Amino acid sequence: MVELFAILARNMRRFITMPLLACLLLLGVLSGVRAQEAEPGKNEEDNGYSQISIFAKAIELIRQDYVDGNKTSYHDLVTAAMKGMLSSLDPHSQFMDPNDFRDMQDDTRSRFNGLGIEVSMKNGLPTVVTAMEDTPAAKAGILSGDQILRINGVSTERMDLQDAINVLRGPAGRKVTLTLLRPSTKEIKDYSLERAEIKVQSVKGVRLLDAELTGPFRIGYLRLIQFNEPTAEELSKALDELQKQGMQALILDLRNNPGGLLNSAVDVCAQFLPPNTKVVSTQGRVASQQHDYATSGAKKERPNFPMALLINEGSASGAEIVSGALKDLHRAILVGETTFGKGSVQNVMQLPDGSAVRFTTAKYYTPGKQVRQGNGVAPNIRVAMTPEQERALFALRNAENVKPEDERNIIKAKDPQTLRAIDALKGVMIYAQQNAPKAEAVKK
């Protein structure tokens, strides 16, 4: 059998219809052939044909002698190899079986079953990017940066990211126990959570802030929870409503926003920037990954009202595109803490059996040519929050029937980031008012 696979590897085109060889060809294309074409002469031994032959031999040795024959089907072995290959590249590359791929598509439509946790690999452990509002995770008090040590008692130290996600997700109504380490306090705690159907509303908390906080100015506020297909449209409607109420300035809250669709983030930027403004660019190894993304040429006209963006460690990906663009283009003041630092582009390509490969092809660059991968976006005004303040804010966001006075008191006592954003916007508007007559006089 080993000899047969060696023959197949040497005669790839002739036997291309064989299922296993198709998988092997994919491995060769991704890990060997393409690398050789991109960098000829770097390693004469690194070619797809020889490596596929070695891989085929390893598979047959395992199938022949491994103690547990139930684990040695071609499908299981090749799937495991695909998972290992993609996860070895970086924390954001992964292999998705057909079910995983369907789950990912559901995410972009703002609906799935799970706990409401966005996770990424950090320092070798699944780490909470954010716990989304109105979900079991947020209601339990799980915070950005919490590290998942165990899931249902099973250590995550050697767990693949997709495997961890698969356990976190699943049928609604079933419980999952997480053991989390909070690096800021060194506290280790168990959380017993029940899965639920998660329906992510992109835009929340739309309102004019209490006059006791803003004084004579009308400062609007809204939160973007994620960047999904309907986000830009929902945001446009929210801004229309705030403008009808006489909004003079806006606080856009991107705290704990884990990102989402690139095009959605660009469309959000279009609500605040002139048409055809470049907001982000990508650069990769090949020419097809060099791309500039700009706002649409057709844009609803809006006043150039002062803006402040709230960001923290849970602001990632699409949230970093928006905050990086509005900062570099001097459209908004950023208040809070440095963002997560997820600034790479992943392409998702579906395979013939319904599975898919997701792998990094480029890095994002802000309009000011800043790389966000590993660095994040730094605020103009740095304001830290304690874990106790974060828990209070989470409790407020996930509570039902909150009275306006309770919300105002929480902001005053527990949300220094929003208070600093209000002060910054008030300062901008006071300065504008004081200098408006001078500007008119100069014109005359």
Specify the pLDDT at position 45: 65
Q: Which of 139, 342, 414, 426 is catalytic?
A: 342
Angle between helices 262-269 and 318-328 (to 10 degrees): 30
- Answer yes or no: is pLDDT of 135 > 60: yes
Domain residues of the chain, as ranges?
2-88, 111-199, 203-435
Which class is domain 111-199? mainly beta
Distance CA 46, CA 309 (A): 48
- Catalytic status, residue 342: yes
Chain-centroid distance of CA 190 in Å reads 25
Distance CA 229, CA 235 (A): 12
165, 118 Cβ separation under 8 angstroms: no
Most confident by average pLDDT, 140-144, 315-319, 327-331? 327-331
Distance CA 32, CA 45 (A): 10
Q: Which of 253, 328, 344, 414 is catalytic?
A: 328
- Answer yes or no: is pLDDT of 421 > 60: yes
51-93 pLDDT per residue, tens: 899 999 999 999 999 999 899 999 999 999 999 999 889 888 8
Q: Quickly tell me which residue has 């097809």 as its tokens.
A: 288
The rounded mean pLDDT for the chain is: 84
Angle between helices 74-87 and 19-28 (to 10 degrees): 10
- Catalytic status, residue 317: yes
pTM of the complete model: 0.71
- Catalytic status, residue 244: no
Specify the pLDDT at position 424: 97
Q: Which of 317, 323, 327, 344 is catalytic?
A: 317
Superfamily of domain 203-435 in CATH is 2-enoyl-CoA Hydratase; Chain A, domain 1 (3.90.226.10)
Mean pLDDT of 93-122: 78
18 pLDDT tier (thresholds 50, 70, 90): very low
175-232 pLDDT per residue, tens: 999 999 998 889 999 999 999 887 778 899 999 999 999 999 999 999 999 898 889 9
